[in-house]
């Protein structure tokens, strides 16, 4: 099986002067789940090359066994330093697509037409897509074939308003994931802050927060192994 992992290229946290990017656990935990499943992994980002790491995701309180393993893994770090450009990939070349979060995707991937077409094409070809934490916000401009919002009427989750308030970025981010998914007609639900929570609706899998990244990857593996049933 071949999985495409799509990472952000955006590194500025609004106009705060602080850095952002992708959240390390949300890449590392799924990466090793996919490796252990025997999958072939391709990393992509809008600009290609080394995607920016949210520095807070590598602070001691945010580190996990998977993040430490990834940081010490020469093969993984080489792949991360040389992501392919998102506009160079074709949905037909992959069995599934996974989007880690971090705040970066709210600025670039959420507005990226290449990303939107990739998600739409993958789902329409009967292959699943999974997105965790802030990455479900990337669905904001994706549509069904009849032009309706892709998430309309679907069970979805993503980073909650209370979690955003907890990291004191409510007034910094371009939009709130919970509000956006709800506005688009998604059947949004959540669990307690920072607790793992994953939803599947057909071929679409979403996870609420960093703790949901490994369970989301497990759900994706299970779905792919079932042939996207």
Closest CA to 152 of 163, 166, 142: 142
Q: Give one word for 182, left, alpha or beta, with left for phi > 0 and alpha for psi -120 to 50.
A: alpha
Give me the DSSP letters along 54-110: PGGGGSGGG--HHHHHHHT-HHHHHHHHTBEEGGG--GGG-SEEEE--SSGGGTTGG
CA dihedral 160, 166, 171, 172 (to 10 degrees): -90
User: Within the chain, how many helices (H) and strands (E) appear?
Assistant: 7, 9
User: What pLDDT is stored for residue 226 in this prediction?
Assistant: 87
Report H helices in the chain: 24-36, 65-71, 74-81, 113-124, 161-166, 177-183, 213-225
Domains for the chain: give ranges and CATH numbers. 2-225 (3.40.50.880)
What whole-number distance in Å separates Cα of residue 227 and Cα of residue 127?
8
Collapsing DSSP to helix, strand or coil, 111 comes out as helix
**Residues facing 22 on adjacent strands:** 53
What whole-number distance in Å separates Cα of residue 71 and Cα of residue 24?
9
**Structural tokens at position 219:** 């759900």
**Structural tokens at position 47:** 């600009």
First to last CA, the chain: 16
Listed as ranges, residues in the chain with pLDDT below 70 are 228-229
155-178 pLDDT tens trace = 999 999 999 999 999 999 999 999
User: What pLDDT is stored for residue 167 in this prediction?
Assistant: 96
Collapsing DSSP to helix, strand or coil, 177 comes out as helix
User: What pLDDT is stored for residue 228 in this prediction?
Assistant: 60
**Are residues 91 and 55 in contact, defined by beta-carbon separation less than 8 angstroms?**
no
What whole-number distance in Å separates Cα of residue 189 and Cα of residue 191?
7
Collapsing DSSP to helix, strand or coil, 32 comes out as helix
What's phi and psi for 101, nearest 5 deg? -100, -135
């Amino acid at each position: 099986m071949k999985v495409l992992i799509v990472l952000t290229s955006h590194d500025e946290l609004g106009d705060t002067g602080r850095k952002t990017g992708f959240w390390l656990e949300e890449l590392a935990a799924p990466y090793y789940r996919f490796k252990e499943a025997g999958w072939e992994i391709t990393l992509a980002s809008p600009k290609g090359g080394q995607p920016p790491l949210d520095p807070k995701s590598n602070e001691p309180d945010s580190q996990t066994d998977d993040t430490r393993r990834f940081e010490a893994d020469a093969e993984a770090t080489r792949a991360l330093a040389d992501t392919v450009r998102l506009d160079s990939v074709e949905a037909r070349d992959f069995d599934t697509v996974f989007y880690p979060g971090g705040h970066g995707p709210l600025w670039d991937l959420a507005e990226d037409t290449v990303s939107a077409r990739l998600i739409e094409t993958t789902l329409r070809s009967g292959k699943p897509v999974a997105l965790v934490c802030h990455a479900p916000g990337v669905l904001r401009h994706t549509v069904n074939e009849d032009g309706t919002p892709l998430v309309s009427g679907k069970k979805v989750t993503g980073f909650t308003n209370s979690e955003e308030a907890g990291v004191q970025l409510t007034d910094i981010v371009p939009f709130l994931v919970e509000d956006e998914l709800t506005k688009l007609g998604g059947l949004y639900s959540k669990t307690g802050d920072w607790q793992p929570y994953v939803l599947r609706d057909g071929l679409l899998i979403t996870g609420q927060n960093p703790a949901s990244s490994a369970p989301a990857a497990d759900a994706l593996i299970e779905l792919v192994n079932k042939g996207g049933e």
